[in-house]
Structure formats: structure tokens, C-alpha cells
Amino acid sequence: APRGAPLVRLPRLAPSAPRRRRVEQNLPRPSAAAESCPHRPTVPTHQPPATMGNTMNVAVISQVYQSNRQELLALKKKAEKDGKKTIHREGWEAAEVACSVDESDRDIHERLFTLYDKRGNDEVPSKPFLSGLATITNNTLEERIHIALEIWDEKGSGYLSQEDVQSCFVSMAKTCEYFGDDRMDFEQLEELVQSMFDTFDADLVDLKMKYRDRIADFAVHPIMEIYLGRQTMDG
């Protein structure tokens, strides 16, 4: 999308006083699971296939969202202070100015910042917030997953625990749900990550996965395709 592209209409959070209130975002209870697929990590098929929604809102947002991987990582570096794991709104806005972030992107950031500001204190957890932003970058699903997982890899080791991978996907699902796409409940997220760690158990190092080697496998996982792939890939 060209710089200065018009911003599509975004969902608004309920107004409150003070201006930014705690936003509760609860994942629904399990509704479905993906069908098994040859040559992929399998998932149980005792549940009916998930219903595909008609909305493609994340895909639409990604067409006008202009910040890329390099810009998200630059924003992270500038906004995080003193090694803290959180980002304050004032510091984030200053980072946006320093990185010359487009105004349309700032509007999207403002809404997602409020979504992740659970305590209403103008502060968000860095990794969930930024991996949520990775979900709407104008990239393929594999690239989005890679960016999001890279954000959770604070030490740059190339390895992530099962808990970290799951937390990353929770953030991605939360952003998708906010923009109106089909919901992925927590049990399905657990099922997705557990099946991947079980499938590649022999390759784990200290119970951690070399995630860069498994990006493509995550992208074609039946659950991922239903909830993120078909709804966020841009064609």
C-alpha cells in the first residue's frame, strides 16, 4: 500500500471515563477443530469443522497497514525503556514520531494499544502487543508468523518454549478477533501448539523449538489455516 493510503473503517472500543479503560478480551469456549490433513500435524476430528466466516477484516487492514518487520522492531527498540517488558503510551507515541510512522498506522496502533492496555494505565506488555501488530502486516501468513515469533525471541537464540509459542498465537488470535475475524478459542490454541511440539519432539533442545525451521509447518497446520491463514492471507 502506498504511503498516505486511506484508512479503512476500524472497529471502535466502547467509550469510557477515563478515556482509556481496561479492555477485557475473552476467548470463547471451544466451537470446532480443523480436519486432519495428510503430511501435516494431525488434530482430532471428533468435532465438526469450524464454520468459515464471511469477514476478511484483517486481510483488508493489512492492505493499508504500512509498517513492516524492520519498522516494528525499530519501534520496539525505541519504545522499551530500561529493559522493561512493557511499553508506556507516551514512549510508544514518541517512538512513532522518531520512526516517522504514517498517521493511518498510528490510528491502528492507538486502537490496539487500548485493546492490550488491560489495566487502563497507558501501558501494554511489549511482546503480546507487538506480535498482535505483526498479525496485520502486509505479508504472507508465514512471514507474519515469523515476525510474531521473532518478537517473542528476546535473546535472538532462535528457540522458543511451548509456552512462548502459545502466548504468541494467543496475541495473534486476539488481534484477528478484534478486527472481526472468526474466533480461535484457547483450547484450540493449546491443541495447535501441543500437536506441533509433539510432532517435532525429537528436534527440541531443552524442550524448546527451533521455530524458524517450523514456520511453514505452523502455517499449514489445519487449525492455523482456518483461523489465520484463510482470513489473513492477502490472496
Q: Is the pLDDT of residue 206 over 70?
A: yes
What span, in angstroms and rounded, lies between the C-alpha atoms of 183 and 55?
11
What span, in angstroms and rounded, lies between the C-alpha atoms of 220 and 141?
9
Q: Is the pLDDT of residue 87 over 50?
A: yes
- Asked if 104 and 6 touch (Cβ cutoff 8 Å), the reply is yes
**The pLDDT of residue 227:** 67
Q: Got the DSSP string for 69-107?
A: HHHHHHHHHHH--TT-SEEEHHHHHHHHHHTT--HHHHH
For the entire predicted model, the pTM comes to 0.73
Q: Is 161 exposed, middle or buried (0-12, 13-18, 19+ CB in 10 A)?
A: middle
Binned at pLDDT 50, 70 and 90, residue 11 comes out as: low
